[in-house]
């Protein structure tokens, strides 16, 4: 999208997403003699609805529909994403779609009293393995892994210990990004059908990486 296209999309969407913030990419340049300068380049808009949890990210090459906590159903999120996509498409016309993705950022809060006699691996199966004797139980970890499934779905999985939100709890992050970057159907209805495959892939990763003790925390 051109700068003018972004402005037109912003103006159309601001009826629902009233709070508008400009996004700028800032580059710092260190020169000889410890001199430095910076450059700022406009890269899009972050638009937030009045409820403060529905967000649209608009960029020259991207459109993202975001739902913050408290979360609603997948069906409601997809319905909102389709509405935003249709609004933008009416303004900029049909474009070649290079990527469709769905990202789910999960925070699992484990009471510290539960960790007194248990380990992180009693709640989450993915992690970091350090070989050798005398290493001890894993107290914190962080990793970023990328995989490509046979069905063409790319997965970017991040996990680690996050800053705790609840008092006397340990917060585990399980961030799953599932996407298609090739073979995207030209028909819009078929493209949206593909998003259901992304949801299934995310669910498979999530369920495979948590334990029954972890599931008890959700009850």
Nearest of 56, 48, 168, 33 to residue 109 by alpha carbon? 168
Residue position matching structure tokens 């210990």: 161
Alpha helices for the chain (secondary structure H): 3-13, 74-92, 112-115, 188-208, 212-216
Q: Where do the structural domains in the chain lie, given as residue ranges?
A: 1-95, 96-219
Between CA 140 and CA 170 the distance in angstroms is 10
Q: What b/e string do you get for 104-129 counting C-beta neighbours within 10 Å, with b at 16 or more?
A: beeebebeeeebeeeebeebbebbee
Between CA 161 and CA 150 the distance in angstroms is 30
Q: Is the pLDDT of residue 31 over 80?
A: no
In tens, the pLDDT along 74-114 reads 999 999 999 999 999 999 988 889 999 999 999 999 999 99
DSSP state of 71: P
Q: Is the pLDDT of residue 135 over 90?
A: no
Mean per-residue pLDDT for 31-48?
Answer: 82
In tens, the pLDDT along 159-202 reads 999 998 899 999 999 999 999 999 899 899 999 999 999 999 99
pLDDT at 134: 65
**E-state strands within the chain:** 19-31, 35-48, 54-59, 62-67, 100-111, 142-148, 154-162, 169-180
């Amino acid at each position: 999208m051109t700068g003018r296209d972004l402005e037109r999309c912003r103006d159309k969407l601001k009826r629902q997403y009233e709070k508008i913030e400009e996004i700028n990419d800032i580059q710092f340049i260190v020169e000889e003699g410890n001199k430095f300068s910076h450059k700022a380049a406009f890269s899009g808009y972050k638009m937030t609805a009045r409820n403060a949890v529905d967000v649209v990210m608009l960029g020259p090459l991207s459109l993202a529909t975001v739902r913050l906590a408290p979360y609603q159903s997948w069906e409601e999120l997809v319905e909102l994403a389709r509405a935003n996509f249709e609004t933008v498409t009416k303004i900029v016309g049909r474009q070649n779609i290079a990527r469709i993705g769905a990202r789910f950022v999960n925070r699992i809060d484990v009471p510290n009293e539960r960790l007194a006699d248990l380990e992180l691996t009693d709640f989450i199966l993915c992690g970091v393995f350090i070989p050798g004797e005398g290493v001890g139980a894993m107290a914190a970890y962080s990793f970023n892994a990328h995989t490509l499934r046979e069905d063409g779905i790319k997965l970017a999985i991040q996990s680690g210990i996050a800053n705790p939100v609840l008092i006397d709890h340990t917060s585990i992050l399980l961030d799953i990004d599932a996407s298609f970057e090739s073979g995207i159907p030209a028909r819009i209805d078929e493209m949206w059908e593909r998003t259901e495959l992304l949801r299934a892939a995310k669910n498979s990763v999530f369920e495979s990486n948590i334990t029954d003790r972890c599931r008890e925390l959700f009850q």
